[in-house]
């Protein structure tokens, strides 16, 4: 008959995930998402200021409306 320690020593021990590990991972993901949101907001601001500086806002709106119509027509065909 085998000794208790021999049996336990041969079993694979699985690493358990604690509640603290899950909380830490979620906080890390939240931090990453907040960083991405800040970058997107900064890019929006820069793009808005660039369009305003170039006084291209009317041209851009006209282009976007034209492009939206084209996309709408293409999707109707499908």
Note whether 27 and 33 are within 8 A (CB): no
Per domain, the residue ranges of the chain are: 18-77
Q: Is the pTM of this model over 0.75?
A: no
CA distance 39 to 31: 12
H helix count then E strand count, the chain = 3, 0
**Could you report the per-residue pLDDT of 13-41, keeping only the tens digit for each?**
667 889 999 999 999 999 999 999 999 99
């Amino acid at each position: 008959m085998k000794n208790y320690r021999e049996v336990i020593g041969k079993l694979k021990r699985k690493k358990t995930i604690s509640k603290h590990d899950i909380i830490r991972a979620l906080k890390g993901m939240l931090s990453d998402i907040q960083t991405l949101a800040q970058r997107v907001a900064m890019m929006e601001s820069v793009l808005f200021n660039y369009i305003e500086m170039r006084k291209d806002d009317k041209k851009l709106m006209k282009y976007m409306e034209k492009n939206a119509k084209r996309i709408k027509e293409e999707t109707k065909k499908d």
